[in-house]
Structure formats: C-alpha cells, structure tokens
A and B are shown apart, each in its own frame.
Chain A
C-alpha cells in the first residue's frame, strides 16, 4: 500500500497568517494517464469531510481561493494564504492513483 505521511500533525495558527501542510507519499502518484491523483480534504468538527483540492492543484467548486495545492511526484503541499476562523478542523491528503486508495493521518489546524 502507498503510505501517505503528513506533517505537521498539529498546526496552531494565528488568524490572518498563512499555514502550510505537507504530504509525502511512499511512491510516485503519477498515473499512467499522466495525471497525479492527489486530493486534499477538510473535516470541520462534527461534519463530513469536504474535498478542497483534486489532482494536486485544482480547487473544487465553492472553495475559497485562499486554499491552494501544489507539488509533484511524491511531495505535495496544501497552503492557506490567510487563515480564517472557519478553517479550523482536520485536513487529510489522499491518493487515488494506486489501489488501495489511502489517506494521510490528518493535520489538525487550530487557532492560537
């Protein structure tokens, strides 16, 4: 199985400041079709997860543009340009290139 390793696991941030979460995979996530199936999810307290980013850097509909994804191969990053109170929650990366699909452990974002 592809192991997804996120860091940090806990991220205290100041409102209005940027935040960054790293996700590394144990093997390349480039699929035979040339696409990289790396997604990011946000899970607010008590809610279902919500996909923010798909295929590394594509924002889902309705996702604020302060969220951005980048990376390639085995190293990926989710950035929040200016953290708002509603961004509190747990963020997961997930790979959909190799079966079984696997998630990172999650990064808990909280306000300082």
Chain B
C-alpha cells in the first residue's frame, strides 16, 4: 500500500524559506510517476505548486517558479519542497501527491507569521 507523509515546520517567518519533505512508503519514487506538491490556503481552492518526474525532471507553476524548487532524496525515498521569500500569502495546507494525484498525503498546515 502506497502512502505519502508530509513533514516540516508548521511556522515560518516572513522572508524566510519554507522547507517540507514528503516520505513515500510502499513504492520507489525512482521507478515511475510524477511526484508533486499542491497547496490550499485556508478556505480556498487547490493550487498545483510543482512536480518532479521519477527521472528527476522538474516542472513548476510559473506563478511560483522563481521561488520554488523540488528535489529527490532517493536514499530515503523522499522528495522535498523549498519555497523562498515567503509571505503571509503562502500560508496554506501543503499536500504531496503521486502522479496525477491518485494518492495524497494527509497535508501539513504551514503558517507564515513573525
């Protein structure tokens, strides 16, 4: 059974960098598929942040492209999100998901505040 679990700080200060990790169990992230990040501000809809292909190619939402990076740690079967220069507008629940989002993590709330 494939499972995804997000982890990382729940509070980040403005102008700092948000870093989250998604740990995948039950499947090797280098075998196949895209692995992505999606976020949802409180009370709002879903926004795709970016995805990394099993080969390592990355795809980002242009609205965030200058601030976002996604990487893989194959030894730990994890992929990670970095979002720089955060503001209050980056406050959201952050989800990791597989491929065309057939499997999701439970989500982690990140608040940007001083």
B33 CB–A CB distance under 8 Å: no
**Chain A contact residue count (CB 8 A cutoff):** 21
Tell me the residues in window 51-87 of chain A with beta carbons closer than 8 Å to chain B beta carbons.
Answer: 51, 54, 60
In the bound complex, residues from chain B placing their C-beta under 8 Å from that of A101 are 48, 51
Q: Is the CB of A103 within 8 A of B47?
A: yes
Tell me the residues in window 8-60 of chain A with beta carbons closer than 8 Å to chain B beta carbons.
Answer: 37, 39, 41, 48-51, 54, 60
In the bound complex, residues from chain A placing their C-beta under 8 Å from that of B63 are 100
Number of A-B contacts (CB under 8 A): 47
**Chain B contact residue count (CB 8 A cutoff):** 19
Q: Is the CB of B107 within 8 A of A48?
A: yes
Main secondary structure of the interface of A (DSSP, over half): loop
Q: Is the CB of A103 within 8 A of B46?
A: yes
Q: Show the binding face of B for A, using Cβ within 8 Å.
A: 38, 45-48, 51, 59-63, 95, 100-102, 104-107
